[in-house]
Structure 1
């Protein structure tokens, strides 16, 4: 029994295959002479499955009296999350006041994993699923019949909103040779515990998202073994892995929840300090005006454009307006040379690709020559996704640019290759990469006019961004100089200023990129006057200009930076305050979210304690009700003592957090008052 218990620990906690464990046992039996050891691999697998089945029956209370209220799923072999809300188990609705209902919602994530497939292999006649419908999967036969009864959904002709998504591509999963293509699972969002009856088999690749990723990292290490197993053994294995995962999560709650509470408390204090600092820098009347403003999205003009104070200020420079106007002129009937339907979107995609290439280049340089394995993997995934976007763009280029020759004034862009090396430069071949007479001969001059208008819009939007960010930077510097002292506060402010500087330089790069393209598109005199070269010395705040102006003499040749005088991006009234309005709303909401997180963590700690106590009482009840055998009664009492110890451990490490008055949860305070005294449970005699 000890050997089988150890085998189970190696397969679940150690994530080791049965074949590897058997190899270790063979080595231990006769080192150096493996051939003389009898092959008992099949017997080992068969014995382990029977032992696991009996163990699951015992842990589910088999042959013990069913509790009239708590045993809602007789023979249940799953282990639910102890920290998530379960009405009438770890809380009752009549204990919760109406204003605290919002904290008792259960949040679940759903995701698919296509590495957990099963190969289409011959199945042994004795391959029976012992946990069928009793643990994490629904009854197999009923589920398969239900799947077959569902009509095949019609394929949408619309382009997926998520570009380059694996699940959106038919070639992302190779179904040949697989009778099960993967699994889907519901997990509690906060702790990643699999929900009972919350897993299903996939027979087609239809879903892959960003749900319980932490679970899949663990599950993927078992997928090699399960892909070779029969249907019954495979489901039993996955149920055992999911149950052990939830059990480990439960037994670690005494460490994870208090640690998360301390981290959340620290972030809560930081966000409160940031919000109060930001609030003190504005006039009181402006704060009162903002406090009365709702953050709910509004469609004020009934035109489909929803706005909220949490959104970035809408730039009115012309890029998005131009893009919308140009696309409205396109219809399916348009067949003029250079104005095929989709031409505007194609050029806009090219401009966005230029920005994405620059962002990837900046990210690669920021990582340096020795990025971590995780950083290198993330950079490579972005590179591959960008490569796919470029390939799609170049395929569409043939449609819009016809049979035009290679660019005669190319604008190559650096592209990050494998292993963070520089690959061959990318030439997108937009109209700005050709001379005007070349475009005219090819009959695509109208495309140049479209790009010219879009480039003007990008330049104007970038100028507005620069001015808005410079205003925000000036406000931060002013507040730092007037109100902050001490190393910690000053360092934090300097970090904020540095972030503003990085954003300003990125906006400058976008401006210069589109300005260079505009210069290749026969710009007008007005273009040359409005869109000048943006040098580093032009990135000057008005405050800096006026301070330098006051400190110098002979102002005959003094002039502020041209960006503040350009008609392309005119100044707006109260722009400095309006610039930081969005950040004020965001800082307030960040503080509220951390406040909510602290309340939820208090709730989770109490629910964990109450779940353990409930299991303790349940097993004690089973030991004293019905007519259990002496062995089963002894097991039930030990099980009760085990959960009682978990409850006391959880209470001991959580009590300080629960008594912390940084946030208030009346439900938790009332339960502690009625059930805990001097750090120990109040035992109620029956």
Structure 2
């Protein structure tokens, strides 16, 4: 290995030296030192120039270097001074850029730029060039001549600065990907110009910012088709330049003609619009410049609201107070007027398409002093007015407070913003934010418990902010207009990126939804099978009534029974511990266990052995809890219990010789292997092998009658252990909830916390003991009744006990409402320990459940949550299928829209302009046709591959597609 490393090191040095040698070769004239003629024209001598931007860096004469750079005038060249190369410019050796004519062509009537002072910002650096305009007949304005040459002028009148199109495009793309600022990019260009005296280059930083802003604005208008619209740029309306979400419902574009007449009780919810609101206090702007000095170009045509109307509304309503929160202490509500010194905008609020994370038109606006309702109301309904839908679901992290007087505040909004077509407005709280709210909000504003919302989580703005925050540093020092235009451009890029990925994103969502629906539905069916049909029917009727009319029915997810007090729980645990100690003391006081066992029947013999095994476990736990420094009394008590247990085992072993003679030989071999030392037994009483039928070595013979007895005992033991396990889990869950609610804060005493922790520890010990007991019984059952059946074995062919009893894993030991680590409420599965059919906890008789109000309450709430999970996953599949259909229809609409707009009212009658406008429209049609075809191809492959599940119908397995499944009701999925 050392030799290999040494060889690799030597080869690395070899290559490094070779690379460096060739790089140094390029610092000289290379192979041209002995050359006597110019390779370009063949003329002898004078070839002292080379271009560092061209491939090969061939040395040429002056006339050749100028000729070859007619089409590349923004390269830097070097000249050989006899000892080394020096940087020079094409301008210094006579290159003149003539605009208004093809490159290389002279103009009969040139008009040199004023004082021959023209600067071009290019990706290669900042260039001072000699540039002439054309003054021939039919000449076009200077800005038009520059644009046709691929140069973007710094101003429309007498321009002296320009940037190449490729520079502006490169900066725009880099800013999207790296979130870099104008200054960082411009400094890099300056260093490319000269990395020694960079400051000597002509400063065009402010002109560069202006050109970037104009470039972004014009590209937005071009892509929005404003040049193809009959009204032209002057006819641009608010929000019309924003990139729309292809999957959201848009009447007249991607909804069927009869969508508004769909029955409310059936499937009108698939045409709902989902919108999320949120504030961001990182996208702030410092108190620099003003709207008068920097008004911006977009003026509400994209994602930001129109500034003038927004400010007028704020000034008219700013004096109104904001109500305090009646939920938890939301800073956005309780401290909306916190000072933002030195800031013109403390952040922004935005409305986002919840299910697809698209920024909505006119859905972004500035915040001044926190997240005030008047700001959020205006921004939210500015975005919503573009969607003439009947049902709207708004997600907002303080929605419980924002909703309270919303309809009163809507009356104060401008008439154009008030929703007129809405028949249902529903406000919910995002899933991640919901646990921070009070219990009432968790029941009332939950996506998980609301019908018709699928698996929507409401957290779309948070994911978008994580990307937009990267540009916060560069926009904080901008003027108001430049900042809005810059953020508009970044939001447009995000929307376009999501548009391009519709095929992949919706396919991935559908595959997850189909699998999630199958898994959760199966889990729900198993749980329902363990509950008497009477309660299932009753609870289903209650929740359906609440879903149809939440205000007219009590919330069925609310716990109705009064919980027992913590003191009662602690008392019960203490009594159980005392009872166990009393039983052990009674056993210790038996004078002659042998007389009891003398006439024992085989069934009682096995039962006594199983009991001895349990007593061994209790003694082992008592020994493990002694600690490092036990008292003499503790040691004495443990020794007495050990002696009593050892005598009982000895008596039982004598009886075992009659029923299991083969066990005697095994025991003798084990005892000889572990001889006593100094008269003391070498093995503890709790480690003495009992050699019950289930623990005999493989190949040992045993009476089938004894095996049957132990199997029956072990089965009962397993069921009893599960009963204990569930009881202790319910107790532990209550204690944790009680401690969280009552044992926090500085006013809580250490003693109260200690009592809570002690009670929880005792409950946990019960959980652990029950789990060990069950595992011991299950393993014995596997030995006694054969190995586990294969996974392919049908239920009808399995033994009855296998339907109920399974291997108990660590992840299975959790409460009725607890999921695995990382599981959300919608993806949570109920542990199998709460679902098995033969148990007495969930499949008890109706009378047993009726008599236990707390159990009935827990089962009802968990049943309703399980039903809600199944319904939400089913709804998600339905919503995604509809969104896929809408996406394809949207792309069809856009392709047809561009096809119908090949002409333009601003293009004139010139054939060149007509061709240009037509070519761009048809290229855009191709873009949307390509997106549509990709969606159709990918989704058809997905249907054939993943959207098929196998179901059991009439004893036969049948493949059912998503389309078939959608024909059934949501509750049937």
The TM-score with structure 1 as length reference comes to 0.60
The answer for the alignment partner of 1:512 in structure 2 is none
1:583 and 1:502 mapped to 2: Cα distance? 7
The answer for the alignment partner of 2:557 in structure 1 is 310
The answer on 1:214 being equivalent to 2:463 is yes
The answer for the alignment partner of 2:214 in structure 1 is 50
The answer for the alignment partner of 2:715 in structure 1 is none
Could you tell me which runs of 5 or more consecutive residues in structure 1 were left unpaired when the two chains were aligned: 299-303, 322-350, 359-389, 394-427, 434-450, 505-539, 548-569, 669-686
The answer on 1:580 being equivalent to 2:865 is no
Distance verdict in 2 for CA 1:596–1:159, change over 3 Å: closer
Does the Cα contact within 8 Å between 2:352 and 2:363 map onto a contact in 1?
Answer: yes
Counterparts of 1:247-646 in structure 2, within 5 Å, are 247-294=496-543, 308-312=555-559, 314-318=561-565, 355=740, 428-430=746-748, 494=809, 497-500=812-815, 572-573=851-852, 579-623=858-902, 628=907, 629-646=914-931
The answer for the alignment partner of 2:276 in structure 1 is 109
Q: Deviations over 1:582-603 (max 9, x none)?
A: 3222112101100100111111
- Other structure's SS at 1:6 match: helix
Does the Cα contact within 8 Å between 1:117 and 1:223 map onto a contact in 2?
Answer: yes
Does the Cα contact within 8 Å between 1:67 and 1:618 map onto a contact in 2?
Answer: no
- Other structure's SS at 1:107 match: strand
Q: Which has the higher contact order (CA 8 A, sep 6+)?
A: 1
Does the Cα contact within 8 Å between 2:507 and 2:938 map onto a contact in 1?
Answer: yes
CA RMSD of aligned residues (A): 5.0
State the shift of 1:655 in Å.
2.1
- Other structure's SS at 2:251 match: coil
Does the Cα contact within 8 Å between 2:259 and 2:271 map onto a contact in 1?
Answer: no
Does the Cα contact within 8 Å between 1:295 and 1:308 map onto a contact in 2?
Answer: no
Distance verdict in 2 for CA 1:113–1:34, change over 3 Å: same
Q: Deviations over 1:571-614 (max 9, x none)?
A: 95487666433322211210110010011111111111111111
State the shift of 1:311 in Å.
3.9
Does the Cα contact within 8 Å between 2:253 and 2:890 map onto a contact in 1?
Answer: yes
1:189 and 1:75 mapped to 2: Cα distance? 19
Q: How many residues align?
A: 482
2:231 and 2:256 mapped to 1: Cα distance? 18
Name whichever structure is richer in strand by fraction. Answer: 2
State the shift of 1:75 in Å.
8.2
State the shift of 1:645 in Å.
0.7
The answer for the alignment partner of 1:241 in structure 2 is 490
Does the Cα contact within 8 Å between 1:617 and 1:640 map onto a contact in 2?
Answer: yes
Distance verdict in 2 for CA 1:146–1:468, change over 3 Å: farther
Larger radius of gyration: 2
Does the Cα contact within 8 Å between 2:850 and 2:856 map onto a contact in 1?
Answer: no
State the shift of 1:187 in Å.
0.5
- Other structure's SS at 1:186 match: strand
State the shift of 1:128 in Å.
3.1
Match of 1:651 among 920, 932, 936: 936
Q: Deviations over 1:358-383 (max 9, x none)?
A: 9xxxxxxxxxxxxxxxxxxxxxxxxx
2:318 and 2:203 mapped to 1: Cα distance? 48
Does the Cα contact within 8 Å between 1:616 and 1:639 map onto a contact in 2?
Answer: yes
Distance verdict in 2 for CA 1:86–1:125, change over 3 Å: closer
Match of 2:328 among 138, 147, 162: 162
Does the Cα contact within 8 Å between 1:66 and 1:74 map onto a contact in 2?
Answer: no
The answer for the alignment partner of 2:248 in structure 1 is 84
Could you tell me which runs of 5 or more consecutive residues in structure 2 were left unpaired when the two chains were aligned: 1-164, 373-395, 398-432, 434-458, 569-735, 783-787, 793-802, 820-832, 841-848, 908-913, 948-959, 968-973
1:463 and 1:503 mapped to 2: Cα distance? 18
State the shift of 1:663 in Å.
3.8
- Other structure's SS at 1:16 match: coil
Distance verdict in 2 for CA 1:269–1:23, change over 3 Å: same
Does the Cα contact within 8 Å between 1:468 and 1:579 map onto a contact in 2?
Answer: no
Does the Cα contact within 8 Å between 2:322 and 2:333 map onto a contact in 1?
Answer: no
1:56 and 1:231 mapped to 2: Cα distance? 19
Does the Cα contact within 8 Å between 1:599 and 1:664 map onto a contact in 2?
Answer: no
- Other structure's SS at 1:187 match: strand
The TM-score with structure 2 as length reference comes to 0.43
Does the Cα contact within 8 Å between 1:67 and 1:622 map onto a contact in 2?
Answer: no
Distance verdict in 2 for CA 1:635–1:666, change over 3 Å: farther
The answer for the alignment partner of 1:30 in structure 2 is 194
Counterparts of 1:175-214 in structure 2, within 5 Å, are 175-206=340-371, 209=397, 212-214=461-463
Name whichever structure is richer in helix by fraction. Answer: 1
State the shift of 1:27 in Å.
2.9
The answer for the alignment partner of 2:289 in structure 1 is 122
State the shift of 1:195 in Å.
0.8
Does the Cα contact within 8 Å between 1:194 and 1:242 map onto a contact in 2?
Answer: yes
Distance verdict in 2 for CA 1:160–1:222, change over 3 Å: farther
1:502 and 1:649 mapped to 2: Cα distance? 42
Distance verdict in 2 for CA 1:221–1:503, change over 3 Å: closer
